[in-house]
Amino acid sequence: MIKNAEKAKIKFFFGAPSCVPATSFESTGSVIDPEDIEFLFKRFDLKFLSEMMNYPGVISKNKNILDKLEIAKKYNKKIDGHAPGLKGDELDLYLEEGIDTDHECSSYDEALEKIKKGMTIQIREGSAAKNFFALSKLIDQYPDKVLLCSDDLHPDDLVKGHINILIQYGIKENLDLFNLLKTATFNPIKHYNLNVGLLRARDPADFIVVENLEDFVIKQTYINGELVYQKDKKLIRVFEKNRPNKFNARKIIPEDLFVPDKNTRIKVINVCDGTLITTCSYTTLPTLDGFLQTEIDNDILKITVVNRYERTHPAVAFIHNFGLKSGAIASSIAHDSHNIIAVGTDDNALCNCINWIIEHKGGISVFDGNRTEGIPLPIAGIMSDNPAEWVAEKYNKLNSITRDMGCKFSAPFMTLSFMSLLVIPELKLSDKGLFDSKNFEFTSLYINNSKSE
């Protein structure tokens, strides 16, 4: 990606991944250790250590985590954080290690505590997690301590805009225009020491031209003094690229997804639109031939994660509030190890979706009861090499089919992708089993076998 970006006229700035894998509780395609991070900083002009998601590892002084942090400090690089809901003494321990940003704040009070303790807050507006309006007043209150962030913005939203959309939001909120522009331009350039011009003498000529400062519609974009965008027309060449991928999953059959009835209540993942945080509830489910069944009328569906790197048995649990009345959806975009994750009303539908992705070695798919449709993702199983507009059109179609099947989420595939992100509370699913993100340990699906019960 770095070598490909060097051919482009756009200025890309990369960070070294701090958490590959994000935890040891899931299967992943690779490991990036402290020596790899040091190599990346030495070999390439990387600007920061990417988000430190394993905050329990930081707080507990895990040696591997601390070694990575020390390498970033050695090269005088910024360290991005990822600490949803962290506060008080635990936040203090996290900050002691030099982590100075966070993009996971969902409430004003959380962000305010972090700012007062020295952090810079990245106000995140993605497809599933939308925090701008909850945090926007911080921009005028602490204009030096806020950045804007488009994290996990899916293609149908991305083609509409990203940071420029947040500027438009802020103008409508009557925020100070120059504070807004500062969060989008000056602050990130200074924070990460980026080689981007600031309209000073002898600076690179990097700037945009807008129609007016009320609507903030962009007319032109210049990079190093060269016009690269004008009135919806991109003036950038497309280069040949490689398609690295690691996809060894085997196709599954319905029996692989059967969950035995143990005559007890089970734990259920509760998901809500607009947030990545889940909760845990308890229920009993109907059975058939000794196996637990979904309960569509009560919106309790089956969720599964299939290891894409090795041929192992799928992990299966149940999820509430996804809304599907028929069919299934699946994706190999499943943070952070990107195994295959799927939610569905029945085992046959789940198999159709999952096997489509396995056949294409990555993708997003929908089975509506009659047919399977999807978007192949041949680059690492998570990226397309088609134009963004093509991907957005296909993605909109899949969203439309999903909503016709009953799901009313604003970003169903984005929400799905986070159901395996173990570092965000409360209950998630990895390819190795159900995971309690509050206590940072595996937990039984069944109540009577649970350590916590």
Other CB atoms closer than 10 Å to residue 244's CB: what's the count?
11
User: 416: Cβ–Cβ under 8 A, 6 or more apart, which residues?
Assistant: 329, 330, 331, 334, 341, 342, 343
Is the pLDDT at 184 greater than 60? The verdict is yes
Smallest CA-to-CA distance from 158 within 403, 378, 383 is with 383
Q: Classify residue 130 by its DSSP letter.
A: B
Residues 390 and 350 in one domain: yes
Pairing of strands 266-270, 315-320: parallel
Beta-bridge partner residues of 367: 328, 372
Residues 312 and 169 in one domain: no
Smallest CA-to-CA distance from 299 within 289, 285, 315 is with 285
Q: What are 120-155's pLDDT values in tens digits?
A: 999 999 877 789 999 999 999 999 999 999 988 888
Q: Is 435 exposed, middle or buried (0-12, 13-18, 19+ CB in 10 A)?
A: buried
Q: Are 149 and 165 in contact (CB under 8 A)?
A: no
pLDDT of residue 240: 75
Confidence of residue 7 (pLDDT cuts 50, 70, 90): confident
Residue 121 resides in a domain: yes
Query: Token digits for 22?
Result: 């994000």
Residue 249 resides in a domain: no
Q: Are 360 and 341 in contact (CB under 8 A)?
A: no
Other CB atoms closer than 10 Å to residue 35's CB: what's the count?
10
Residues 223 and 267 in one domain: no
Residue 246 resides in a domain: no
Residues 319-329: what's their mean pLDDT?
Answer: 97
Q: Are 338 and 353 in contact (CB under 8 A)?
A: no
Residue 239 resides in a domain: no
Residues 279 and 211 in one domain: no
Residue 134 resides in a domain: yes
Query: Token digits for 341?
Result: 């994750």
Residues 183 and 50 in one domain: yes
Residues 346 and 383 in one domain: yes
Is the pLDDT at 79 greater than 50? The verdict is yes
Is the pLDDT at 61 greater than 80? The verdict is yes
Residues 227-249: what's their mean pLDDT?
Answer: 84
Residues 353 and 293 in one domain: yes
For the ranges 63-67, 109-113, 383-387, the lowest mean pLDDT is seen at 383-387
Residue 355: give the domain boundaries: 254-449
Q: How far is CA 61 from CA 15, 96, 100, in A?
A: 22, 11, 17
Q: What are 168-183's pLDDT values in tens digits?
A: 999 999 999 999 999 9
CATH number for 118: 3.20.20.140
Q: Quote the percentage of the chain above a pLDDT of 90.
A: 80
Rounded CA separation 40/88 (Å): 34
Is the pLDDT at 450 greater than 50? The verdict is no
Residues 138 and 31 in one domain: yes
For the ranges 68-77, 87-96, 441-450, the lowest mean pLDDT is seen at 441-450
pLDDT of residue 130: 86
Confidence of residue 21 (pLDDT cuts 50, 70, 90): confident
Residues 151 and 281 in one domain: no
Q: Are 19 and 54 in contact (CB under 8 A)?
A: yes
Is the pLDDT at 449 greater than 70? The verdict is no
Residue 299 resides in a domain: yes
Residues 86 and 152 in one domain: yes
Calculate the CA 350 to chain-centre distance.
Answer: 22
Residue with the two structure tokens 């990545």: 276
Rounded CA separation 29/26 (Å): 10
Domain end point (choices 234, 266, 292): 234
Over 228-261, what HEC string results? EEECCEECCCCCCCCCCCCCCCCCCCHHHHCCEC
Residue with the two structure tokens 């007319």: 219
Pairing of strands 207-210, 146-149: unpaired
pLDDT of residue 424: 86
Confidence of residue 269 (pLDDT cuts 50, 70, 90): very high
Is the pLDDT at 451 greater than 70? The verdict is no
* Number of residues that this document lists for the chain: 453
Read off the pTM: 0.83
Is the pLDDT at 348 greater than 80? The verdict is yes
CA 39, 307, 26 angle in degrees (round to 5)?
A: 55
Residues 226 and 260 in one domain: no
Smallest CA-to-CA distance from 123 within 140, 104, 142 is with 104
Residues 286 and 148 in one domain: no
Question: Got the DSSP string for 156-188?
Answer: HHHTT-SHHHHHHHHHHTT--HHHHHIIIIIHH
Q: What are 211-237's pLDDT values in tens digits?
A: 999 889 999 999 999 999 998 777 877
Residue 117 resides in a domain: yes
CA atoms within 13 Å, Cβ hemisphere of 233:
4
Q: Are 118 and 133 in contact (CB under 8 A)?
A: no
Residue 112 resides in a domain: yes
Rounded CA separation 57/70 (Å): 14
Beta-bridge partner residues of 366: 329, 373
- How many domains does the chain divide into? 2
